[in-house]
């Protein structure tokens, strides 16, 4: 890239997409990721179409999957740091009427500073007023009872359940619902059959059961989780504001034919997927990655505080 910043490129072969009947999944993921601008959601900078392949130019994250982090660490002492970031990203999705439907540690990536990036929106969907979802999707161990039962659901409540399973895994190093037999696994999930280890804090012992409520109507909501006593506001402003410092940096880059400030700003304000806009987003993300967020009530990696709410 002309900015000198690393990106990840996901290459999707068109023939393979068609043979696996994944066209809708890919279309949905690209469409939704283009709308997402949040520090804990993976960024899609650009999509390049060719007759044979689709190239998704994505934010580069060096830390791997949260799943591997849990496997290597067991109980995660910085669990609140991760959990708050996950919930922040999920709340942003729900605010924009998007339900992820496949939240699990394998789809939560970590950057070089161990900050969470929610990825893989292939099974996500858009919520519409007066309409319900029914599709059974996602990994069984993280799926809510109403999902595995094929019942109708609104959307946000299934993400809350998955977040509860992830929180349990972070704190315990194991899954609340696990069985080699799928029928037995589903029986445990439908019955809410799990146990809380004695080492959990009072806050965690209070929050997890409210997230893993079998009846979705009685399940705690994301706003209620965020209003907990140790949870403070940590949302990204949705409106796109032009960062003049980043614009100035872009103007120093070597673009064919050159560019002006007005061209950069116009590309941002019109939300155009142009090389100018891609360069702006890359430089902006690089700048933001250097800014440590303080005073937000978060526990940073390395802390031994496992209180959740």
Q: Which residues are annotated as catalytic?
A: 102
| Secondary structure string (H, E, C) spanning 266-285 | HHHHCCCCCHHHHHHHHHHH
Other residues' Cβ atoms within 10 Å of the Cβ of residue 37: 19
| Coil, helix or strand at residue 49 | strand
| Coil, helix or strand at residue 10 | strand
Which residues touch 99 (CB under 8 Å, ≥6 apart)? 93, 124, 125, 126, 127, 133, 155, 156, 158, 159
Cβ 239 vs Cβ 304: under 8 Å: no
49 vs 56: CA distance, rounded Å: 9
Cβ 308 vs Cβ 167: under 8 Å: yes
Cβ 308 vs Cβ 203: under 8 Å: yes
Both tokens assigned to 111: 């950057």
165 vs 159: CA distance, rounded Å: 10
Cβ 97 vs Cβ 238: under 8 Å: no
11 vs 57: CA distance, rounded Å: 9
115 vs 85: CA distance, rounded Å: 8
Name the DSSP letter for residue 300: P
Both tokens assigned to 27: 């279309």
Which residues touch 259 (CB under 8 Å, ≥6 apart)? 250, 251, 276
């Amino acid at each position: 890239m002309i900015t000198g910043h690393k990106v990840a490129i996901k290459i999707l072969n068109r023939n393979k997409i068609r043979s696996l009947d994944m066209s809708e999944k890919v279309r949905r993921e690209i469409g939704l990721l283009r709308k997402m601008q949040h520090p804990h959601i993976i960024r899609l900078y650009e999509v390049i179409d060719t007759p044979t392949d689709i190239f998704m130019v994505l934010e580069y994250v060096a830390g791997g999957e949260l799943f591997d982090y849990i496997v290597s660490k067991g109980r995660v002492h910085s669990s609140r740091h991760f959990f708050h970031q996950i919930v922040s990203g999920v709340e942003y999705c729900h605010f924009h009427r998007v339900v992820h439907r496949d939240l699990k540690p394998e789809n939560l990536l970590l950057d070089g500073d161990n900050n969470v990036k929610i990825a893989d929106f292939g099974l996500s969907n858009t919520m519409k007023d007066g309409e319900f979802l029914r599709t059974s999707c996602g990994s069984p161990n993280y799926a809510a009872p109403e999902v595995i039962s094929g019942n109708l659901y609104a959307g946000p409540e299934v993400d809350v359940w998955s977040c509860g399973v992830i929180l349990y895994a972070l704190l315990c190093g194991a899954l609340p619902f696990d069985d080699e037999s799928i029928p037995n696994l589903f029986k445990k999930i439908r019955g809410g059959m799990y146990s809380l280890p004695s080492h959990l804090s009072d806050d965690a012992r209070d929050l997890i059961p409210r997230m893993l409520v079998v009846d979705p109507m009685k399940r705690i909501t994301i706003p209620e989780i965020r209003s907990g006593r140790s949870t403070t506001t940590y949302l990204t402003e949705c409106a796109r504001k032009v960062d003049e410092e980043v614009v100035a940096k872009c103007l120093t880059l070597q673009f064919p034919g050159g560019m002006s400030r007005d061209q950069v700003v116009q590309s941002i304000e019109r939300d155009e997927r142009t090389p100018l806009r891609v360069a702006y987003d890359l430089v902006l993300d690089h700048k933001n990655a250097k800014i440590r967020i303080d005073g937000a009530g978060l526990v940073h990696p390395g802390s031994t505080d496992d209180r959740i709410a």
